[in-house]
Amino acid sequence: MLEFCIHFQNSLIKTKQELYLQKEIRKYFMSIYQSIQDFISLALQNGTIEPLDELYHRNQLLHFLGLNDWAEVDKEVHEKDSLILMDQLLAIANENNVIEKGQDEFYEAALMNFITPRPSKINHDFWEKYKTSPDAATQYFYELAQQVNQVKTRDIARNIAFSHLTKYGKLEITINLSKPEKDPKAIAAAKLVKASSYPACQLCLENEGFYGIGNKPARSNHRIIQVSINGEDWGFQYSPYAYFNEHSILLNAKHQPMEINKRAFDNLLGFLDQFPDYMIGSNADLPIVGGSILTHDHYQAGRYEFPMAKAELREEIKLQHFPEVSCGIVNWPMSVLRLSSENQVELSNAADELLKKWQVYSDESLQIKAKSADGRLHHTITPIARIREGKYELDLVLRDNNTSEIYPDGIFHPHPALHHIKKENIGLIEVMGLAILPARLKTELMEVEKYLLNQENEMSEIHKPWAEELKKTEYFSKETVHETVQGAVGEVFEQVLKDAGVFKDNEVGQKGFYEFINCLLYTSDAADE
């Protein structure tokens, strides 16, 4: 009898355990199904699908996640955050071994494509909202881009940002941690992928909805607004790893090289006619002083006031041939002329004349040389446009990409003593006073701080001369070392901009700047020819 009781009791325990386990399994799957339902609700909310598409959409998503079952769940939304839902569904896909190793980026974008409206829908809604105001249109598109993870807000939030006060105003510093490091397996897998010429580059319209492969990024959830600027077809999109508020790219519908000319000035000003709340600028069109992609005509825009925009004029200059255009020298470490006018045509013409004068100008006493012996041009401009107080405004930054034996990376490029902090090209964003510094500095600067506190450290040798100089000039404590090092990094960036300036901010350099301005004002077109 005792044995029977014990056996019966054990059976009861086992049954209870099984029931509990079954209950937990059911709970787990119901939570999965709820996440899927919430995700579908987002697709309905975004207009990605219609109610009649819901069952179809569900089945497609189940297959995508490696599931083949379903149970009805609460139709009322439990989780509204698309990124939390993304994490939950990606975890399911990983559990079901759907995602191949090294393919997370591509799968993630493809998953978010389920809640991203088609290009036709987004373009239609954008231009309908534009009828209310340009701000209403861009707000809609930007919020959607964040929701579907086209703009990677969580990655961007990882960046380290601080400012540095100088006589030119506050410079802004960002240590860029947003772009994740490639997994070694992913890198190895990418090498095995057959090379493809499609899309031609990362800025082509053909990237819209492109799954991605090898070193070509995932763009399944990527969307582009079709825009006409001065009779040409362009695409307007938000940058996945935005460096400033509403960081966007205006890209030519055709894959053609960048070029700074009158057409470029007209395009920048034409964009402002349609989006007056944004600024827009272009990288220079020459190696060393240009951006990372010179093969595709594009500009960068956004709703942001950069440090250079806040800089005041040192001196006003009267342009005799353009009485409707105001001109002045900007108080900035680089060589910048600011043009302003209500007359867009005259402003563009004045900028074009300034560019043409600069392209043929030489002052070899300052290592400024317009052409090589083989005829290669070395001068161009980094232009930035905005509307201020009802007037169009163009900041024109003079650039020179000459090299020398002493400065093989560029005479007007960060000099070697600064390469431990910044070695890369000084493009549009840096020109405007926002430093984009490499991710390596996050850990490297921590080791510098330890070194300055005389603690055990693994400081890189490349930082030693700089750190030794800091030790001579500063007293360091645990409470102050971090802020002091950030200030020193800010000083390096200030010097980087000074190195990139063609006319230095000193007596000799400013004298040379005024000689160029005199050439601009008084040299006839015939003399240039």
User: Which pLDDT value is given to residue 38?
Assistant: 95
State the Cα–Cα distance between residues 202 and 179, nearest whole angstrom.
15
Query: For tokens 């009779």, what's the residue?
Result: 231
- Which comes out higher in pLDDT, residue 188 or 33? 33
The pLDDT score that the predictor gives to residue 173 is 98
Instruction: Count other C-beta atoms under 10 Å from residue 522's C-beta.
Output: 9
| Count of other CB atoms within 10 angstroms of residue 257 | 11
CA dist., res. 102 & res. 16, Å (int): 42
pLDDT bin (cut points 50, 70, 90) of residue 473 is: confident
Cα–Cα distance, 442 to 453 (Å, whole number): 17
Half-sphere exposure at residue 287, Cβ-oriented, CA atoms within 13 angstroms: 6
The share of the chain scoring above pLDDT 90, in percent, equals 82
Domain boundaries, the chain: 2-98
Q: What per-residue confidence (pLDDT) applies to 227?
A: 98
pLDDT in tens, 208-240: 999 998 778 999 999 999 999 999 999 999 999
Q: 10 Å Cβ neighbour count for 473?
A: 8
The per-residue pLDDT for 8 is 44
> For residue 129, what are its two tokens?
């909202």
Output the CA–CA distances (angstroms, integers) from residue 287 to 110, 295, 348, 475, in the order listed: 35, 11, 24, 41
Q: What is the pLDDT of residues 70-101, one digit of tens each?
A: 998 988 888 999 999 999 999 999 999 999 88
Is pLDDT above 60 for 526? no
Residue with tokens 């609700």: 41
Indicate the Cα dihedral angle 32, 35, 39, 45, nearest 10°: 140
For residues 93 and 85, the answer to whether their CB atoms sit within 8 Å is: no
- How many Å apart are CA 500 and CA 286, to the nearest integer? 14
Higher per-residue confidence, 29 vs 347: 347
Q: What pLDDT, on the 0 to 100 scale, is given for residue 9? A: 55
- With 70 as the cut, is the pLDDT of residue 12 above it? no
- Find residue 280's DSSP bridge partners: 301, 385
Nearest to 219 by CA among 176, 175, 249, 254: 249
